[in-house]
A and B are shown apart, each in its own frame.
Chain A
Amino acid sequence: QVQLVESGGGLVKPGGSLRLSCSASGFNFSDYYMSWIRQAPGKGLEWVSYISSRTNIIYYADSVKGRFTISRDNAKNSLYLQMNSLTAEDTAVYYCARVVYYFDKYDAFDIWGQGTMVTVSS
């Protein structure tokens, strides 16, 4: 079935780095834009970044720009998020999500992973 599975979360010290992975299955990964969204404990959803199917279009939220890097390997059906210079404000559950387009215009996150927790603390 269509599935996204995140991994790579954990405890990291302020200023440290972490690389998240998202493994896709059940669909043609290379056909889809993908995105990362995060949710701090007890807070709402915050979009982080997205990447086009061919990696030629990439956008970041202002809160992570210059520190996070999104990438993908279509041959491995995998999405990544390299996170550097982490601070306590980056503590959150990180979800990967598939982007689907309707009417060739309107996008939505139609498939989500279960999330991976990142905790930034000394």
Chain B
Amino acid sequence: IQMTQSPSSLSASVGDRVTITCRASQNIGNFLNWYQQRPGKAPNLLIYAASSLQNGVPSRFSGSGSGTDFTLTISSLQPEDFGTYYCRQSYSTLLTFGGGTKVEIK
């Protein structure tokens, strides 16, 4: 299953609403996670089951979607939200990540 993210990069200001999309090549139900990776660090789980917020993750992060189209939204971008965001499907036993979306703060 191929996962396609868009955009590949974006630049936004603090306080902006940011939306990242992830499209699956086939129906994956809600078997989708979102991760944030800051430079030089391991990824961090943000969202599981497409829309459930991981414990400890700020509520400005939210996930939505089902089937083939998914969205990660940051309601009000904060300086610490820079990094690369990845979606990952687990509908198939052969897990696949999206190519990533790099978020820069203007």
Contact = CB atoms under 8 A, between A and B. Distances in A.
Interface residues of B, number: 25
A45 B97 contact: yes
A40 to B, nearest CB: 12
A46 B86 CA distance: 11
Contacts of A109: 33, 35, 43, 45, 88
A63 B23 CA distance: 22
Contacts of B35: 45, 109
A114 B84 CA distance: 16
B100 A45 contact: yes
Interface stretch (A7-15, A74-82, A83-91, A100-108): A100-108
Contacts of B94: 47, 59, 61-62
Contacts of A112: 42-44
B90 A107 contact: yes
> From DSSP, what is the main secondary structure of chain A's interface residues?
strand
Contacts of B31: 106
A102 to B, nearest CB: 5
17 contacts: A44-B100, A45-B86, A45-B97, A47-B88, A106-B49, A106-B52, A106-B90, A107-B48, A108-B48, A109-B33, A109-B35, A109-B43, A109-B45, A110-B45, A110-B54, A112-B42, A114-B42
